[in-house]
Amino acid sequence: MRLLNDRVAIITGASKGIGRVMSQMFAREGAKVVCAARSEALVNETAALITSAGGDAVAISADAATENGARAVVDAGVRAFGRVDTLINNAGDGGPTRAVQDYTIDDWYYTVNSCLTSAYLCSRFAVPAMIASGRGAIVNIASMAGRRGLAYRVGYCSAKAGQIGMTYGLALELGRHDITVNAIAPGAVEGDRIDRMIKGQADLRGVDIERMRQTFVERSPLGRMSTADDIAALAVFLCSDHARNISGQCIPVTAGEPA
């Protein structure tokens, strides 16, 4: 039996990476998926991958870090499928890897808005639709950087810590509406984003890129990074009936690295 039959799920940042993998996995588990991202071409591609495999999806190109964009994302779900049951706040750019004295105010606003403001706005507009449905699940894709920090990533660490705090607050506020709110805190996840960050860290520290990469792998007792599938599988579980009494949690996915 599929875990998310007939659920309507909004997934932001669905154009690539973890967001695309989650969109496809949610569809395979029976959800009707609203794929949202800024890139029209890429988010349309994600939705097409789902529909060509027999799933149900629509694409919406919008900037979830703006009020109009976040409202448009939620409206797209209601318009296409009549309701919203699930919101995955995955949108966000990691911003630059840069020493704090070189980290500009524009860097700060861009990173915090793309990661944290987008999650707040999408939650703000999705909650009334979930209340109308009689239940809901919100999952914020945070980061271990928001729990333990990471050098040269001040905006990203701050935004992800904010997502975790928002998770705790919303879980307390929304429980009476049978809406669960949880966060997933990945460690290093294979993909383009970690590759860019590792290069930035290596350049700033003056070390070899492969040696820098190895430091991330060595933190894991399992000797590997996590994958987008690992994050997506946990998100599916948290949005299923199996997790109906799990709320207000921040769950690490770190390939065994202590959180």
pLDDT tens-digit series, residues 71-103:
999 999 999 999 999 999 999 999 999 999 999
pLDDT tier at 258 (50, 70, 90 boundaries)? confident
Residues 6 or more apart whose CB falls under 8 angstroms from that of 171 comprise 180, 181, 182, 247, 248, 249
Higher pLDDT, 197 or 12: 12
Lowest mean pLDDT segment, chosen from 54-68, 195-209, 227-241: 195-209
Both 215 and 101 in one domain: the answer is: no
pLDDT of residue 216: 87
What CATH number has the domain bearing residue 65? 3.40.50.720
For residue 258, being part of any structural domain is answered with no
Does the pLDDT of residue 198 top 80, yes or no? yes
pLDDT tier at 3 (50, 70, 90 boundaries)? very high
Mean pLDDT of the chain: 96
Both 17 and 63 in one domain: the answer is: yes
- CB of 170 within 8 A of CB of 126? no
Does the pLDDT of residue 259 top 90, yes or no? no
Both 167 and 215 in one domain: the answer is: no
Residues 6 or more apart whose CB falls under 8 angstroms from that of 223 comprise 217, 255
Span 145-193, pLDDT tens digits? 999 999 999 999 999 999 999 999 999 999 999 999 999 999 999 988 8
* Residue 220 belongs to domain spanning: 190-225
pTM score, whole prediction: 0.95
pLDDT of residue 2: 94
For residue 174, being part of any structural domain is answered with yes
Both 141 and 76 in one domain: the answer is: yes
pLDDT of residue 204: 86
For residue 257, being part of any structural domain is answered with no
Both 204 and 140 in one domain: the answer is: no
pLDDT tier at 37 (50, 70, 90 boundaries)? very high
pLDDT of residue 234: 98
Does the pLDDT of residue 1 top 90, yes or no? no
Span 101-113, pLDDT tens digits? 999 999 999 999 9
pLDDT of residue 144: 96
Residues with catalytic roles: 156
State how many domains the chain has: 2
Does the pLDDT of residue 243 top 90, yes or no? yes
Mean pLDDT along residues 105-134: 97
